[in-house]
Chains A and B, each alone.
Chain A
């Protein structure tokens, strides 16, 4: 049995934690771009003509079948070549760029489904009532539909976010220096002798992050749906 040094877990935690912001920043970027694309996909699936709808459905189906690591490698090796065909050299771009592109592509499909389900859960009568009360189409969406959608979408969004964080740990495979990457680097520096301790430290970090995200959004959901009940009762 290899020697096990529990105290090294704390050393590892101390050294890895400063890299937490890299993980959080890439997650934030992915959530931003992924959600934007997700909104467009959901819109295409709800409203637009048959062609756009079919395209959006194919996109969602295909991306949900692709393992994240395959997508990550395709983007990391393929995108620079692809852009070079247009005369743009992105070989020197930061690793974070490729990570955000990859996971935005995948996250968009999840978000599209979350948004669509949330939108369709709202009774069409809500929109009609808002329009008949004199609100414009945009006002009806922004003031009536959206606040109700958000409450419905939150649990699924939380799930997608936790999955994104977990899948995001794969970005160390292209050499990104986030939480996981720093852990691997530490193991490499010590010639693999502290791997168990570092992996335990990493597990603790990810587990804690998951619990924080779930708890945080759970509280938010409770807070938002409290307002909903009052509206429904009055």
Chain B
């Protein structure tokens, strides 16, 4: 077996153009999901009535089905649903099929990551002792202040490794975005490979890029973790 190295270098350079797309999906998804996930985690911790039930069901469903199925389902549902709502019900003249596919990617990965992150936040909030909240309220902070200044900073430290895991998993699952015709690393490599049936070389290049990206993400989180835990030590002494 001989690998076509010229092709690999060419594909590598071409696939580099897909990195911003992959990172964009990852970052935007995280930014969209984190606030919603946080409120879902709070809802579930307070166990107040139907809201907590619905959230639990949603989380269970998303975590119980493959992401590829979620992509296929939403990608076949959303465009026609949007078309129906905007053009038939609201009677706007909106070109649904001109919507950039990356928006669908945000929607699908957002829905998925929200569920995962809400579990991460829930377990992180549980690690902060009950006394912290009571102490904060007894010194005259409002609940909102207590969360922002006392609870969240402590919960963040214990949540960080799990958030890192979630980010790496999200990064890996963005390789499925090509199913929604998003031009990410995987899609570019697939197109390059199809020219001359150089599938193995193309996917080896993709593999290399993903390893590099994962390493980058993990180093980033290590740095943040070091920063946060040094801050924590300063507070304790």
A residues lining the B interface (CB < 8 Å):
1-2, 62, 64-71, 73-74, 77-78, 81-82, 84-85, 162, 165-170, 180, 192, 195-196, 199-200, 202-203, 206-207, 209-211
- Rounded to whole angstroms, the CA-CA distance of A62 and B81 in the bound complex is 40
Which residues of B lie under 8 Å from residue A169 when comparing CB positions? 66, 68-69
Judged by a CB distance under 8 angstroms, whether B191 is at the interface is: no
Within 59-98 of B, Cβ neighbours of A (below 8 Å) are at 60-61, 63-69, 72-73, 76-77, 80-81, 83-84, 88
Which residues of B lie under 8 Å from residue A78 when comparing CB positions? 199-200, 203-204
A195-B1 in contact given A169-B66, A169-B69, A211-B64 (Cβ < 8 Å): no
- A1 and B80 within 8 A (CB): yes
- Rounded to whole angstroms, the CA-CA distance of A65 and B210 in the bound complex is 6
- Rounded to whole angstroms, the CA-CA distance of A185 and B63 in the bound complex is 25
Mask: chain B, 1-20; 1 = CB below 8 Å from A; 0 = not: 10000000000000000000
Which residues of B lie under 8 Å from residue A162 when comparing CB positions? 64
- Rounded to whole angstroms, the CA-CA distance of A69 and B204 in the bound complex is 12
A66-B66 in contact given A74-B203, A85-B1, A200-B73 (Cβ < 8 Å): no
- B73 and A69 within 8 A (CB): no
- Rounded to whole angstroms, the CA-CA distance of A199 and B88 in the bound complex is 25
Which residues of B lie under 8 Å from residue A211 when comparing CB positions? 60, 64
- B73 and A196 within 8 A (CB): yes
Judged by a CB distance under 8 angstroms, whether B145 is at the interface is: no
Shortest CB distance B29–A (Å):
15
Query: Which of B67, B69, B77 lies at the interface centre, i.e. has the most chain A CB atoms within 10 A of its CB?
Result: B69
Q: Closest 9 CB pairs between A and B?
A: A210-B64, A65-B214, A1-B84, A67-B175, A169-B66, A77-B199, A166-B66, A199-B73, A207-B64
Judged by a CB distance under 8 angstroms, whether B155 is at the interface is: no
Knowing that A70-B175, A192-B76 are A-B contacts, what are 4 other residue pairs whose CB atoms are under 8 Å apart, sorted by A's residue number? Answer: A66-B211, A166-B66, A167-B66, A210-B63
Give the number of residue pairs across the A-B interface with Cβ within 8 Å.
101
- B211 and A74 within 8 A (CB): no
Which residues of A lie under 8 Å from residue B61 when comparing CB positions? 203, 207
Our pick among A77, A84, A170, A192 for the contact of B68 (Cβ within 8 Å) is: A170
Shortest CB distance A223–B (Å):
23
- B207 and A66 within 8 A (CB): yes
Our pick among B69, B186, B199, B210 for the contact of A206 (Cβ within 8 Å) is: B69
- A73 and B203 within 8 A (CB): yes
Q: Provide 6 A-B residue pairs closer than 8 Å at the C-beta atoms, listed in order of the A residue.
A: A1-B84, A66-B207, A167-B66, A200-B73, A203-B61, A211-B60
A66-B64 in contact given A2-B80, A77-B200, A180-B69 (Cβ < 8 Å): no
A70-B214 in contact given A195-B76, A206-B66 (Cβ < 8 Å): no
